[in-house]
Amino acid sequence: MSWRLIVLTACLAACDGKGWLRESHILVNGFLETNEDCRDWLCDHDENTDLTTYDGAIFLVHRTAESQVLGPNSSLHVYRSDDNGDTFHVIAIIPAPTDRDLRDPCFYVMPDGSLAIKAITRLPVTSDRDSNVDSISINTVSPDAGMTWGPLTPIGPEQWSFWRVRQGADGTYYSAAYHDGDTSVSLFSSIDGQTWNLGAQVYGISDDTPVETELVFLPSGNLLAFVRMDGTNDELLGSMGRLRTKVCTAPPPYAAFDCTYELDGARLDGPLAFFWNKRLFFVARFHFLETQNRKRTDLYEITYKNETGPFEFIDHGHFPSAGDTSYAGIVPIPVGDPKTSQFLVSYYSSNLEEDPPWARAILGPTDIWTAKIDLANL
**pLDDT value of position 16:** 52
State yes or no: pLDDT of 164 exceeds 70.
Answer: yes
Query: What is the average per-residue pLDDT within 188-193?
Result: 98
Mean pLDDT on 132-151: 98
Quickly state the pLDDT bin for 135 (edges 50, 70, 90). Answer: very high
Q: What is the pLDDT of residues 215-233, one digit of tens each?
A: 999 999 999 999 999 999 9
pTM score of the predicted model = 0.95
Residue 11 has pLDDT above 70, yes or no: no
What number is the average pLDDT over the span 47-75? 98
pLDDT reported for residue 75: 98
Of 17-31, 96-110, 198-212, 344-358, which gets the smallest average pLDDT? 17-31
Residue 197: what pLDDT?
A: 98
- Give the confidence band of 273 by pLDDT, cuts at 50, 70, 90: very high
What is the pLDDT at residue 48? 98
pLDDT at 3 over 90: no
What mean pLDDT comes out for the span 186-193? 98
Say which CATH architecture domain 5-377 belongs to.
6 Propeller (2.120)
Domain boundaries, the chain: 5-377
Mean pLDDT of 255-275: 98
SS3 per residue for the chain = CCCCEEECCCCCCCCCCCCCEEEEEEEECHHHCCCCCCCCCCCCEEEEEEEEEECCEEEEEEEEECCCCCCCCEEEEEEEECCCCCEEEEEEEEECCCCCEEEEEEEEECCCCCEEEEEEEECCCCCCCCCCCCCEEEEEEECCCCCCCCCCEECCCCCEEECCCEECCCCCEEEEEEECCCCCEEEEEECCCCCCEEEEEEECCHHHCEEEEEEEECCCCCEEEEEEECCCHHHCCCCCCCCEEEEEEECCCCCCCEEEEEEECCCCEEEEEEEECCEEEEEEEEECCCCCCCEEEEEEEEEECCCCCCEEEEEEEECCCCCCCEEEEEEEECCCCCCCCEEEEEEEECCCCCCCCHHHHCCCCEEEEEEEEEHHHC
